[in-house]
Amino acid sequence: MSTPGAHGLDAHLVVDRGTFRLDLRLQVAPGETVALLGPNGAGKTTALRALAGLEDLSEGHIALDGVVLDGVVPDSAVPDGALPDRPRGGARWVPPEHRRIGVVFQDYLLFPHLNAVENIAFGPRRRGLGRAEARALAAEWLDRVGLGDFGKRRPGQLSGGQAQRVALARALATDPALLLLDEPLAALDARTRLDTRVELHRHLAGLAGPAVLVTHDPVDALMLADRLVVVEDGRAVQEGDGESVTARPRTDYIARLVGLNLYRGTASGRTVRLASGEVLATAEALEGDSFAAFPPSAVALFRTEPDGSPRNTWRAVVAGVHRHGDHLRVQLDGPIRATADVTPAAAAQLGLEPGQEVWAAVKAAEIRAYPA
């Protein structure tokens, strides 16, 4: 990690949109890719648009490699020659077209009337490159994204995945100091998504500057980003590398995303007492406000009370059963609401159906506890 502020992206994004307020601090080091992950309406796109200069900040600042793009910052923080194009009410603000930012946004992927090479050459041309030079650079980038033979095609003659690659090439051809990607793989079918994801990862890994990626998809976030920032309701609720976020979710949204049952309660030794009064025996010893989490696969279901083993057992009512890959996912109501995964054979044996009473059991060793 570099010193935040001097290199890479250093931003505090505050945007007011009616009743919604985004308030997000974001520091991304050169060469680092951060994924903003969150539910619909969390403010991810607003954050990207603010970085790009398409959304006004109400407060905060954006600095890229020490150059202030938006916000009130002491003069000493603005290097010579980097003065803003337009001062605004005492603040400094650089308009979008003068920010060295490459964007791959859903809503303006490519110019429909230009072919692939012209689309990619557009940015370099605007940055002052001659026509022939810009086209040569564009052809080179098209090659790099594996579309060397598609230069003459217009966006309408490209598949979704190909258009996405051209958009990426177009963003990268401007040699951006910051790359912004909004749901870069969302529009692609499963197969294309897989290939494009691998390729995008390669380009992100080769990037010298910071990159910020917005996605709903935990797989995209985990595979493409060095660090995840989970955004809910305009704020960062959890941050860290994929492993720490998925192993220790701190909100229901993340728990659902990574497929864990998550509870909050008060720990005392190897137990966590939930708000409902139920007590879970856990693998780790802790004290105080804590989370307890376990995967659906850790839940065993029985028709009658299981006996003899040192595990957590409780009575539950089957609220729903549906297929999930090669097993069945069972929603359980009761004092401890949980999701359980069972094999079709086990489900048949139990005769699972909504409304049915069962016993649920989870071994203490399968329940992770961590401080809230």
Ligand X SMILES: Nc1ncnc2c1ncn2[C@@H]1O[C@H](COP(=O)(O)OP(=O)(O)OP(=O)(O)O)[C@@H](O)[C@H]1O
- The residue written with tokens 């305009």 in the block is 234
- Give 118 or 182: the residue with its C-beta nearer to ligand X: 182
Nearer to ligand X, 42 or 204 (CB): 42
- In the complex, the smallest distance separating the C-beta of residue 227 from ligand X, rounded to whole angstroms, is 18
Cβ proximity to ligand X, 229 vs 281, nearer residue: 229
Q: Should residue 45 be labelled a site residue for ligand X when binding is judged by CB under 6 A?
A: yes
Piece of 12-20, 112-120, 221-229, 263-271 that binds ligand X (CB under 6 A):
12-20
Among 330, 326, 333, 325, residue whose Cα is nearest residue 347: 330
Q: Which residue's CB is nearer to ligand X, number 251 or number 266?
A: 251
Shortest Å distance, C-beta 241 to ligand X: 21
Report the residue from 38, 53, 124, 265 that binds ligand X according to the rule CB under 6 A: 38
In the complex with ligand X, the residue whose CB is nearer, 216 or 264, is 216
> Rounded to the nearest whole angstrom, what is the least distance from the CB of residue 80 to ligand X in the complex?
35
| 242 near ligand X, rule: CB under 6 A | no
- For the four alpha carbons of 115, 120, 125 and 129, in that order, the dihedral sign comes to negative
Q: Which member of 1, 3, 17, 252 binds ligand X (CB under 6 A)?
A: 17
What is the layout of strands, in order, in the sheet containing 261-274?
261-274, 279-294, 368-371
| Residue 41 binds to ligand X (criterion: CB under 6 A) | yes
- Shortest distance (Å) from residue 238 CB to ligand X: 15
Stretch that binds ligand X, among 39-47, 109-117, 171-179, 356-364 (CB under 6 A): 39-47
| Rg, Å, the chain Cα set | 25
Which of 216, 270, 273, 311 is in the footprint of ligand X by CB under 6 A?
A: 216
Nearer to ligand X, 40 or 76 (CB): 40
In whole angstroms, the minimum distance from the beta carbon of 102 to ligand X comes to 19
Judged by CB under 6 A, the stretch of 35-43, 159-167, 218-226, 331-339 that binds ligand X is: 35-43
Residue selected from 35, 42, 281, 342 as contacting ligand X according to rule CB under 6 A: 42
CA dist., res. 358 & res. 319, Å (int) = 11
CB 253 within 8 A of CB 38: yes
Comparison of 17 and 126: residue with beta carbon closer to ligand X: 17
Q: How far is the CB of 19 from ligand X (least distance, A)?
A: 8
- Check binding of 43 to ligand X (CB under 6 A): yes
> Which single residue is written with the structure tokens 């016993």?
359
Task: Count the residues of the shown chain that bind ligand X, applying the rule CB under 6 A.
Answer: 12
Handedness of CA 238, 241, 247, 253 (dihedral sign): positive
When asked if residue 20 is in the footprint of ligand X (CB under 6 A), the reply is yes
Q: Using the rule CB under 6 A, is 46 a contact of ligand X?
A: yes
Residue 44 within binding range of ligand X, rule CB under 6 A: yes
**Shortest distance, CB of residue 232 to ligand X, whole angstroms?**
9
Which has the closest alpha carbon to 30: 68, 60, 65, 78? Answer: 65
142-147 CB contacts, 8 Å cutoff, 24+ apart: 142/116, 142/117, 142/166, 142/169, 144/169, 144/203, 145/169, 145/199, 145/203, 146/199, 147/116
- Are residues 32 and 213 in contact, defined by beta-carbon separation less than 8 angstroms? no
Residue 184 in the binding site for ligand X (CB under 6 A): no
Q: Is 218 in the site for ligand X (CB under 6 A)?
A: no
Residues that bind ligand X (CB under 6 A): 17-18, 20, 38, 40-46, 216
